Amino acid sequence: MKKLITIERHFVEEQKRNPHATGELTDLLYDVAFAAKLVRREVVRAGLVDIIGMAGTTNVQGEEVKKLDLFANDKIINAIGQHGRFAIMGSEENEGTIVPPKNESGKYVLLFDPLDGSSNIDVNVSVGTIFSIYRLTGSNPQKADINDCLQKGMHQVAAGYVIYGSSVVMVYSSGHGVHGFTYDPTIGEFLLSHENITTPKNGKYYSINEGSLNQFHDHTTAYINYLKEEDKATGRPYSTRYIGSLVADFHRNLLTGGIFVYPATKTHPDGKLRLMYEANPLAFICEQAGGKATDGNRRILDIDPLQLHQRTPLYIGSEDDVLKAESFIKNT
């Protein structure tokens, strides 16, 4: 039987491997894993909404029932913010930055999307939490501001996501490979299930919302048509897989190989997805696993952010597939 390694044990072992580690990052990641457990507890009860009350109503305990994404947002801010390890935070659900309940000794910045794909919850489709951790640019937590949040993705010290699916899995990287943990509800622990994830150099799946075809630029349409052609040598045609829940689409392609594309369109020149909350953390994971992430021209992690909620086109996944997609942008 395989040895059971809890997420806590794994973080401690990782810390021992780095002689300069102070243990702070271990604590931060553990806080994130703990917050994920709180969110999971609610997500798995989502189907009971008719029984326990719709968002905006009052439940049997006399508490107001919140939409799950707002609930997840509050839980993460409170669970993570109370330890004082983060000086400043940013969430896809909040317009501006968030000063955590305690931040006097915080040295880090947390950016997160509390429940991505939350429109899928009502139909029991997987959703996810995405997170990104940076060091504070200065040394005084009281002076932390939006500029601490607007760092290039390449400066992330750790990033990851939690997928609430057929099982709950947390995937993270602190720059030393990508590791995945599956939640065992019987013991309340995340257990190491995917050690050192590497993504295939090319895949067999492509994920894009083809319903927007009329809005696509010619190069996007040409690339999709290329993927549909028959050619045994290059493994075409590729199969379409699109859940419409980024974490779920990304996670599948990370493990099986393939490409996820949310392109610039004629009506949305910056695409839909957010640089700071979605593209950067997934790009960090993807590169750590040997894949590639670009906006079609530039490496995602090199983009200098100007706004917290900035959007970016996203091409992410197996290296050869992303390079091929880019060649269509250059040559069409």
- When CB distances are held under 5 to 8 angstroms depending on the partner's kind, the choice from ligand AHM, Mg ion, none that residue 118 binds is ligand AHM
| CA–CA gap between residue 244 and residue 119 (Å, rounded) | 9
| CA–CA gap between residue 132 and residue 281 (Å, rounded) | 5
By CB under 5 A, how many residues form the interface with Mg ion?
2
Nearer to ligand AHM by Cβ, of 192 and 227: the residue is 227
Site for ligand AHM in 98-127 (CB under 6 A): 116-118
- When CB distances are held under 5 to 8 angstroms depending on the partner's kind, the choice from ligand AHM, Mg ion, none that residue 23 binds is none
Nearer to ligand AHM by Cβ, of 68 and 197: the residue is 68
Q: Which of 112, 152, 138 is nearest to 303 (CA)?
A: 152
Q: Does 249 bind Mg ion (CB under 5 A)?
A: no
Nearer to Mg ion by Cβ, of 113 and 148: the residue is 113
Q: Does 244 bind ligand AHM (CB under 6 A)?
A: yes
Residue 266 tokens, joined:
């004629």
- Among positions 88, 111, 246, 283, the unique one binding ligand AHM when judged by CB under 6 A: 246
Q: At what angle do helices 280-288 and 246-256 cross, to 10 degrees?
A: 10
| CA–CA gap between residue 169 and residue 147 (Å, rounded) | 31
The 115-134 contact track toward Mg ion, x by CB under 5 A, reads -x------------------
Q: Does 130 bind ligand AHM (CB under 6 A)?
A: no
DSSP-assigned states of every residue in 174-238: SSS--EEEEEETTTTEEEEEE-S----SS-SEEE--GGGGGGB-HHHHHHHHHHHS-BGGGTBSP
Q: Does 90 bind ligand AHM (CB under 6 A)?
A: no
CB-closest chain residue to Mg ion? 116
Locus of tokens 């590729």: 238
**How many Cβ atoms from other residues are within 10 Å of residue 269's Cβ?**
10
HSE-CB of 214 using CA atoms within 13 angstroms = 1
Q: Does 148 bind Mg ion (CB under 5 A)?
A: no
Q: Does 96 bind ligand AHM (CB under 6 A)?
A: no
User: Cβ distance 222 to 166 under 8 Å?
Assistant: no
The 293-322 contact track toward ligand AHM, x by CB under 6 A, reads ------------------------------
Least spacing, CB of residue 58 vs Mg ion, in Å? 28
Question: What is the spatial order of strands in the sheet that 258-262 belongs to?
Answer: 239-240, 205-207, 258-262, 314-317, 292-294
Where helices occur in the chain by DSSP H, the ranges are 7-17, 24-43, 49-52, 68-81, 146-149, 218-228, 246-256, 280-288, 319-331
Q: Does 69 bind Mg ion (CB under 5 A)?
A: no
The 43-82 contact track toward ligand AHM, x by CB under 6 A, reads ----------------------------------------
Least spacing, CB of residue 128 vs ligand AHM, in Å? 8
Least spacing, CB of residue 53 vs Mg ion, in Å? 25
Residue 258 tokens, joined:
């393939």
Interface residues with ligand AHM (CB under 6 A) are 92, 116-118, 209, 244-246, 272
Q: Footprint of Mg ion on this chain (CB under 5 A)? A: 113, 116
